[in-house]
Amino acid sequence: MEIKKYTQQEVNSTLWRACDTFRGKIDSSIYKDYVLVMLFIKYVSDIYKEHKEVLMEKYDNDVEMVQRQMRYERFVLDEISTFDYIYSKRNQPEIGEIINKSLAHVEEENKTKLRGVFKNIDFNSESVLGNTKERNSMLKNLLEDFKNLDLRPSRLIEEDVIGNAYEYMIANFASDAGKKGGEFFTPSEVSELLSRLVKPEENDRIYDPTCGSGSLLIKAFNKIPSGKAQIYGQERNGQTHSLARMNMFLHNIDDAKIAWGDTLSNPLHLENDKLMKFQVVVANPPFSLDKWAMGFAGEGSDKAFKMEESLDPYKRFGFGVPPISKGDYAFVLHMIHSLAEGGRMATVLPHGVLFRGASEGKIRQKLIEMNLLDAVIGLPANLFFGTGIPACVLVFKQNRSRDDVIFIDASKEGFYEKGKNQNKLREEDIQRIVDAYDNYETVDKFAYVATKEEIKENDYNLNIPRYVDTFEEEEMVDMEAVAENIAKIKSELAEVEEQMEKYLKELGL
């Protein structure tokens, strides 16, 4: 009998249908964590089950031998850690607690990889999932939805179906969650653009200081066919941090180092008590984060707190301290100080960073004087979840071999696909930007290479229209043709009026 294999679309559709269990009862920004954790457990359980079946056959059902071999599996599970065990208890009144214990057991059995990955989720939470009756009903439905999804590797059409399905779910949740969605997901095509701009190489350390669910890191990592690179990320939101870790495992990246904490006040990737250095940095930090420096205030501080350069033990704010109400340049300076010699960095930012004055203007000037800025790229509006404001990408490099800066305006109509709620960069749009950046030449109405002197003359204002002239001259009006057209219309109108008069006479009116 031919074995049924599941396509990407079938897996995606089944997963999205599973969300019906929660829709209308719980906000999607909350129930996404339950669905994605269940996907992870089902996946590792199904892999474990299939490998066990293979070994049982190989060792002629020698249980002891198989158990010994299974200790070397990528993830180690025992009976009460599997999805099948949880499913068998779906009618138990304490099913929420049973799932929690199973997750704790999975963590305990896989301490080095999974420690703390489920710490932010509670399947027995009355405040989130409702009273016992409602909660048990929802969890039973969820388990039944997943029961029919066979995620054994031999049942999937392609190797990366699960990783893609996880990204599909996160993207859908981000879209569904509106503004909150932008906090944990960067649209796939924007991640693709950034990863092509920074050109990751073998043995690079790749870093995202505000990694969200980790999609940007995975895109950059996948640019290295051999997979010989080390991923580092940090995320402030606990739930999103767990999502990122599971995302890495589902993409077969088991050694990613994803830390949990505030990157600005508590950077966790350090070497010899200094910021660790990375060859590649990619990021989509929160736009214009208010109160970004409160982590430096310490306990007992009040509203009068004022961020000062001396409060940062890692000396990141020597170029200036960004305004407390806009954290964009705080993240930029953190990333600049995390770049290794020859390192490349690309980050998404709001347009305000290009022209705002005061301390941000001084920081911008310093970044240009120190010859760190390599490119300014204007993106179309409405690319991101939850915000319609136009964004840009700034590319920085350590040890640049040139001192001019390329400006690329990819925001015009025709350079993206218009969507009902959200616009999208197509493959040709991404490649057009990357080609312009790689060629580093002026392209009429699209790209302009500005000298440092020109930028200085513009008072270090980087607003793209100052450099890329996208003005389209209006077509000359042919007055003779217009006059001829008017005469023709008048003539036709006279004919109609004459005809009308005839009809009226015939009717005796």
Q: What's the pLDDT tens digit per position in 341-367?
A: 999 999 999 999 999 989 999 999 999
Contact 173, 240 (CB under 8 A): no
| Rounded Cα gap, residues 308 and 281, in angstroms | 25
Q: What's the pLDDT at 370?
A: 93
**Does the structure show a pLDDT above 70 at 81?**
yes
* Conformation bin of residue 320: beta by default, left when phi > 0, alpha when psi is -120 to 50: left
Contact 281, 193 (CB under 8 A): no
Contact 397, 346 (CB under 8 A): no
- Name the pTM for this structure: 0.80
474 pLDDT tier (thresholds 50, 70, 90): low
Nearest to 265, CA basis, from 336, 316, 319, 216: 316
- If you average pLDDT over residues 471-500, what whole number do you get? 83
**Does the structure show a pLDDT above 70 at 176?**
no
| Rounded Cα gap, residues 318 and 271, in angstroms | 20
* Domain-wise residue ranges, the chain: 8-179, 182-297+304-466, 476-508
Structure confidence by residue, pLDDT tens digits, 300-318: 655 677 888 888 999 999 9
Structure confidence by residue, pLDDT tens digits, 372-382: 999 999 998 88
| Rounded Cα gap, residues 391 and 219, in angstroms | 20
Compute the 3-state secondary structure of the chain and give helix, strand, coil in percent, each to the nearest 5.
Answer: 45, 15, 40
Structure confidence by residue, pLDDT tens digits, 248-269: 888 888 899 999 999 999 999 9
Q: What is the CATH number of domain 182-297+304-466?
A: 3.40.50.150
Structure confidence by residue, pLDDT tens digits, 15-49: 888 887 777 777 777 788 888 888 889 988 988 88
| Rounded Cα gap, residues 448 and 466, in angstroms | 10
Tell me which amino acid residue 46 is: D
Structure confidence by residue, pLDDT tens digits, 91-107: 988 899 999 999 998 88
Superfamily for the 8-179 domain: N6 adenine-specific DNA methyltransferase, N-terminal domain (1.20.1260.30)
How would you classify the pairing of strands 391-397 and 373-378? antiparallel
Contact 267, 275 (CB under 8 A): yes
